Amino acid sequence: MSASAPANPKVGFVSLGCPKALVDSERILTQLRVEGYDIVQSYDDADVVVVNTCGFIDSAVTESLDAIGEAIAENGKVIVTGCLGKRSELIREAHPDVLSISGPQDYGSVMSAVHSALPPRHDPFLDLVPRRDDGIGVKLTPKHYAYLKISEGCNHRCSFCIIPSMRGDLVSRPVDDVLREAEKLAMGGVKELLVISQDTSAYGVDVKYAERQWRGKSYQTRMKALCEGLSELGIWTRLHYVYPYPHVDEIIALMAENGANGMPKLLPYLDIPFQHASPRVLKLMKRPGAVDKTLERVQRWRSIAPDIAIRSTFIVGFPGETDAEFEELLDFLDEAQLDRVGAFAYSPVDGAKANDLPDPVPEELKQERLARFMERQAEISAAKLEAKVGSVQRCLVDAIDGELAIARSMADAPEIDGLVQIQNGESAGLRVGQFVDVEIMGSDEHDLFGEAVEND
């Protein structure tokens, strides 16, 4: 006689928002799995649905409210968490039937809400099994790259942003804690770490750069020391959300040096949002405004690490931006020759100080400026990619698609930058998560095309 075991309780999960929210989702999913919940892919299969929301700009708020509405219509039992959870009245007004609302990183509240909606199944055998001892937990990214969150919150008060009011001031994780997590990820097969935070260059300011021990050596809780520690792992490390402080210059040398296994100590890649180039607009944004110095620094970085790829974001049509100030921004693009650029037309965020500024730019003009800005940058990006034709680039394979292997070079972060399509991927026997040297034979506005020349 055989008795089938009762099924595990089933949770559906909707994850919206930025990489920081993705890390929160991974933590919640890990805890759910540890407690014996199954994660299912459809509303029909789920006993309850968790929606991790984003509340950064108005379009993200709408997307989050729509996702909650869809989960209620399709399933009925919905737990809301994440950035929009800080504005619970807005959620309750639109969706009074949600079971519970909590803010970002409030894993305890999410788990309590799941327990009361759907108690975990007590299993006398499984309850004795410890959590996965690789310490990695559930990851939403592919196995070969992972986001590494080093801090929460932000000490700046950029006038267009409400993140500090949602996530609070900077709280840095101790450096040994971060290095241990990175080490486990590398041991688990991760080949690329994507360092994220709200403000990576401020790392450790709140703990006065406290020193900790890792692998018998002292490291300060500080961006440069963290990068030095990560370089010991012999995999790619990519920095995101670097605020343009002067001390960023200190890490550029690491990008030009190779570690013991020939990997760059730090990827020659800097995601550094400049937001604008007019000193007056930057002042209104409450951002650093010495634009001449920024250009000088970009040149200096390139003289130290000639392969550095600089990614930045900009806001056009900020309140009060004049035609002349917008032209200054275009001139900056011409001079800085940035590799990757994202831009947004300014959109007021509920609760942001910038909403009180005079002279809003009319919507039509904002869109016109955005189109001109993107057109100018597209030419620059296309020329920069074309200049790589004939070179050999070290790439990391993300996927195999028939004969093609889809990879990224050191200049391409996942999701936001371009790709390298390797035409002979299958015949070269490439695998996902493998490093490979690729001879570049063609380019377009975003991507590169080439052939594998050498495998690991």
**Positions that interact with ligand SF4 (CB under 6 A):** 154, 156-158, 161, 163-164, 198-199, 243
Cβ nearer to ligand SF4, comparing 95 with 276: 276
154 marked as part of a ligand binding site: yes
Nearer to ligand SF4, 274 or 326 (CB): 274
Residue 176 vs 199, nearer CB to ligand SF4: 199
Q: Which is nearer to ligand SF4, 163 or 205 (CB)?
A: 163
Q: Is 227 annotated as a binding residue?
A: no
The neighbouring-strand residues paired with 195 are 148, 239
161 is in an annotated binding site: yes
Residue nearer to ligand SF4 on the CB measure, 151 or 393: 151
Q: How far apart are CA 300 and CA 153, in angstroms?
A: 30
Residue 211 identity (one-letter amino acid) = E
CB 346 within 8 A of CB 306: no
Contact 157, 283 (CB under 8 A): no
Decide whether 100 or 172 has the Cβ nearer to ligand SF4. Answer: 172
How far apart are the C-alpha atoms of 230 and 182, rounded to whole Å? Answer: 7
Shortest separation between residue 378's beta carbon and ligand SF4, angstroms: 25
CA dist., res. 306 & res. 177, Å (int): 33
Q: State the nearest-atom distance from the C-beta of 198 to ligand SF4, in Å.
A: 4
Q: How far apart are CA 34 and CA 123, in angstroms?
A: 12
Question: Is residue 83 marked as binding?
Answer: yes
What is the nearest approach in angstroms of ligand SF4 to the Cβ of residue 305?
24
Q: What is the closest distance, in whole angstroms, from the C-beta atom of residue 377 to ligand SF4 in the complex?
A: 20
Measured from the CB of residue 160, what is the shortest distance to ligand SF4 in angstroms? 7
Order of strands across the sheet that contains 192-196: 145-149, 192-196, 236-239, 269-271, 309-316, 340-345
| CB 249, min distance to ligand SF4, A | 19
- Dump strand ranges (E) for 198-298: 211-214, 217-220, 236-239, 269-271
By C-alpha distance, which of 172, 152, 173 is closest to 163? Answer: 152
Residue 191: what residue type?
K
Task: List binding-site positions.
Answer: 18, 54, 83, 154, 158, 161
Task: List binding-site positions for [4Fe-4S] cluster.
Answer: 18, 54, 83, 154, 158, 161
